[in-house]
Structure 1
Amino acid sequence: MHDSVLTNLLMNFLFILVGLLLFALYYDATKKHPSKRIVIIFSTVTILLCVMFSHKLANGVYVDLRRIPFFLASLYFGPVVSFVLMVMIIALRYFIIGSGLIHLVILNYFVTFLILAAFSKGFLRAKKKVKVLFMIIICFSMTMFNLLFGYIHQAEITVDEYLYLVLIPLAATVISVMITEMIRKLMELKKTLSQHEKLQVVSRLAASLSHEIRNPLTSSKGFLQLVQEEKDIKTQKEFIELSLKGIDQATHVIEEYLTFTNSTPEKSERIDVKDSLMELIEIIKPKATHISFRYQLLDGIHVEGQRHNFIKCMGNIMTNAIESMPRGGQISIGMVEKENVIISISDSGIGMTDEQIRRFGEPFFTTKNEGTGLGIMAATIIVHSMKGKIEVESELNKGTTVMIELQRAIKTEAG
């Protein structure tokens, strides 16, 4: 029995590793995150192979590693994938192994499905150690469930075999999670590298435009100022003033482009997050009369950076939120203090698709009919320059939440 147990479980583990490798190869070939359909197909094939190489403990009681791909797909891709795979596991178990104790299999996987569905969102945000520990607990619980029913049905299992049946699934679970996290990290790094390459292109373009356009605009402004001093009729003065205003707006656009060059970094300062956000809200409110604002901000929280850039960053995100609610809505601004400061800006607007979420912050990408996408791109660059992170969660027709995580400023002796 020793050889049979080891052979079947190690074969199961090999199938899981091959499945994870296929996910990595799929991303490398397509440059896209696997869709839920692809996840279900790959996971179902892996589960099928695991069931085919199950180890029989007693009539109706079988041990294999089919639960590991079920756990991984459920926790990383959500309840819909989890439910489909649960149905597939039960069906494969019934048609390949038989109907013995099928009611217990259904109960076991249904309870596990409910647990995984409840923890899937929190799991993605958890640290690697927490993810590994959670997976160990779930895997150990299901292993004990199988061994318990093997004992009830008087399966002849030695102490050594108990160790195999417990340790191999736990080791396979830990290794699978570590490999999955490594693949996710590589995918994120590749995406970040691609974005940085695009940002460099825009940076060079912005620097070129600023040097080529600023000088003639400044000359034009000086000329119009001289004309304004002459004795002209009132209408001409009004037109000249409008021209000056237009030139000022063009200069402002150039200033926005200079955000992308990051060529002249300014000295960092301590920014009071609450004061800056309240100042920004008071500026934006009169321009967004159809929007209501809710905010819950913390006192005494500071970050490092340039205050005007920080306000510009938050202003661009809020402006984007306002434009997503043409018929009115609500913007909620919150702060959470953990290891770092997390600022969340939520709206009740039109939301975004998964593809739009993935392209959030890319150069010249926008979800609006008119727009350049430079506002959100500028916000992303400013957050990165402050050594922070920006993430977005959204659902169509339900709204969007942008989360900005920034390091807290080191307290000075005076502060």
Structure 2
Amino acid sequence: MSFFTKDLLINFLFILLPLFLVQMYYLLKYAKQIDWLKNWTIAIFPILSILLCMLFPVDAVIVPDRYNIDLRRIPYILGTLYGGAGFGTFLLVLILTIRFLIGGVGFYVTLISLPILSIPLFIIAKKYLAMSLQQRIIASTLISLVGALLAMGVSIFVFDIALPTFLWIEFVCLDVIGTLVITVLWEAIRTNLSILKRLVKAEKLEVVSHLAASISHEVRNPLTASRGFMQMLGEDEQNPIKKRYLSIAIDELDRAKDIIDDYLLFANSAPERPEQVDVGVEIQHVLQIMKPLANMNGVVLPPPSLLHGQAKVCGERKKLQQCFINLVKNSIEAMPNGGKLEVKLKKSGETVTVEIHDTGCGMTSEQISRLGEPYFTTKEKGTGLGTMVSFRIIHYMQGKVHVKSEKGKGTCFSIELPLCTKTAPKID
């Protein structure tokens, strides 16, 4: 094995090392529930790879003095594709700064080739995460090939860097193959992370499910009886202080009953008698129910102009209503100082999508990732059970929930449900 190959393989190990650290990071953050590890810290790993690759390039005996050959483009390309154009700009400035400090003709090669490569890279980065797995692997590999050929072309034709042909071929092949391998490994890590998140959430939901199943309907009977007697006492009570205390006690009993109802609904959120439900009709019914709450909060509701008759899904009417009530109620309560609620209904192929968009306080990416967990809520007096129940109902209807939010600008819940066909989908 030549020194050239050995040094490039050492560069490749410098890229693999941070990947293993990423895997450990995810295990600590989600499996061990270490909250002080923030999502932005993941950006350290491509930066670390770039620094190591540039500080330990191919031995200067093999290539012209201060013309460094390394695999810095691999973490740069993948960091930009997965982190976005903003993070890619930071990595570009970092590489150019380090290369300027090293000096030599290699800086000018980088100054010309890397910004040119960044133009298509930034464009692709905007849609990269929306691509399929196969498309992502192909895109990153092709960009790496273009980047290696571009650097080689600038070196040979602009600066007349004389290297043996087989070394250029070896460099291009290792760069492209390295990008392919790292992309596959990174996708495997992302898949493992997704599975890990679901497992952690499933464990929590299983505990809550067992607890909900153990709560008997008898618990509500003494609450109902106590509420009735308190209400009777409140009607006859003349002392305003005692009357206020009784009113507070009744409100708290109602609150306890609502929590129990949410638990019981969570334990049995699968449709008992699936039927065809018109989504447009149910949403309008929910908006009518939530109109008083919206008026109290100064929230403007959308006009009744949703699609009817052509957007039918298979499920249980009452539970679908409960799902929409919880989500609309959350959106209204996220706008305590007033705002505008938008509800849109869209049909596409075999699915119908309901978008509920508010102009409230919004959420961080970490808060979005925890939505649907028991007892997680962004409200001061919330329990998180309403959102958990809604997500559970959508899951049993074989639907999907997508959440987009920006702190201070609002949140959009997008609920995607399969339309009813002649053969109703199996609900498990």
TM-score grouping bracket, smaller chain normalisation: 0.7 to 0.9
What CA distance in whole angstroms lies between the structure 2 residues aligned with 1:150 and 1:106? 11
Label 1:244 to 1:149 Cα distance change in 2 as closer, same or farther (>3 A): closer
Alpha-carbon distance between aligned partners in 1 of 2:351 and 2:170, rounded to the nearest angstrom: 43
AA partner of residue 19 (structure 1)? P
- Give the corresponding residue for 1:387: 398
- 2:355 aligns with 344
| Deviation for aligned residue 1:216 | 3.2
What amino acid maps onto 2:84 in structure 1? G
**Cα distance in 1, alignment partners of residues 325 and 127 from structure 2:** 29
What TM-score comes out, normalization by structure 2 length? 0.80
- For 2:126 and 2:337, the matched residues in 1 are separated by 30
| Deviates most, 133-142 or 117-126 | 117-126
Aligned partners of 2:299, 2:325: CA distance in 1, in Å? 15
Cα pair 2:109 2:155 within 8 Å, conserved: no
Question: Are 1:23 and 2:22 matched, yes or no?
Answer: yes
Change (3 A) 1:338 1:149: farther
Q: What are the equivalent positions in structure 2 for 1:360-371 lying under 5 Å apart?
A: 360-371=371-382
How many residues were matched structurally? 401
What is the alpha-carbon root mean square deviation over aligned residues?
3.6
Q: In 2, distance between residues paired with 1:44 and 1:132? A: 21
Instruction: Compute the displacement of 1:172 (Å).
Output: 1.6
Q: 1:52 and 2:55 equivalent?
A: yes
Q: Deviation per CA, 1:281-325: give whole Å up to 9, x if none.
A: 333234313223458866623333222222211221121111111
Tell me, what secondary structure is at the counterpart of 2:189? Answer: helix
Does the 8 Å CA contact 1:39/1:73 hold for their aligned counterparts?
A: no
State percent identity of aligned pairs: 34
Structure 2 residue aligned with 1:74: 80
Query: Distance in 1 between the 2:174 and 2:388 partners?
Result: 47
Query: Which residues in structure 2 correspond to 1:107-256 (within 5 Å)?
Result: 107-113=112-118, 115-152=120-157, 153-156=159-162, 160-217=166-223, 253-256=259-262
| AA in 1 matched with 2:20 | L
Q: Structure 1 residue 218: deviation in Å?
A: 6.1
Structure 1 120/394 Cα, relative in aligned 2: closer, same or farther at 3 Å? Answer: farther
Q: Distance in 2 between matches of 1:52 and 1:265?
A: 61
Contact 2:11–2:56 under 8 Å retained in 1: yes
Map of 1:13 onto structure 2: 12
Partners of 1:276 and 1:373 in 2: how far apart?
A: 23
Residue 358 to residue 272, structure 1, CA distance change in 2 (3 Å):
same
Structure 1 residues not aligned, in runs of 5+: 229-234
Distance (whole Å) between structure 2 residues aligned to residue 171 and residue 297 of structure 1: 51
Measure, in 2, the Cα distance between the counterparts of 1:246 and 1:373. Answer: 17
Deviations 1:264-286 (A, max 9, x none): 75132333333322332333234
1:349 shift after superposition: 0.9
Cα distance change of structure 1 residues 104 and 279 upon mapping to structure 2, 3 Å threshold = farther
- Which region of structure 1 is more displaced relative to structure 2, 257-266 or 317-326? 257-266
Which one is further off, 15-24 or 387-396?
Answer: 387-396
- Measure the CA separation in 2 of the matches of 1:57 and 1:304: 67
Give yes or no for contact 2:294–2:301 (8 Å, CA) kept in 1.
Answer: no
- Judged with a 3 Å threshold, the aligned counterparts in structure 2 of structure 1 residues 166 and 272 are, in CA distance, closer, same or farther, namely farther
Question: In 2 relative to 1, CA 282–92 (structure 1 residues): closer, same or farther, beyond 3 Å?
Answer: same
3-state SS in 1 of match to 2:2: helix
Q: What are the ranges of 5 or more consecutive residues in structure 2 without an aligned counterpart?
A: 237-242
- Normalising by structure 1, what TM-score? 0.82
> What is the DSSP-based 3-state SS (H/G/I as helix, E as strand, rest coil) of the residue aligned with 2:276?
strand
Quick one: distance in 1 between partners of 2:253 and 2:98?
A: 70
Shift in CA distance, 203/106, structure 1 to aligned 2, threshold 3 Å:
same
Q: Does 1:310 align with 2:320?
A: yes
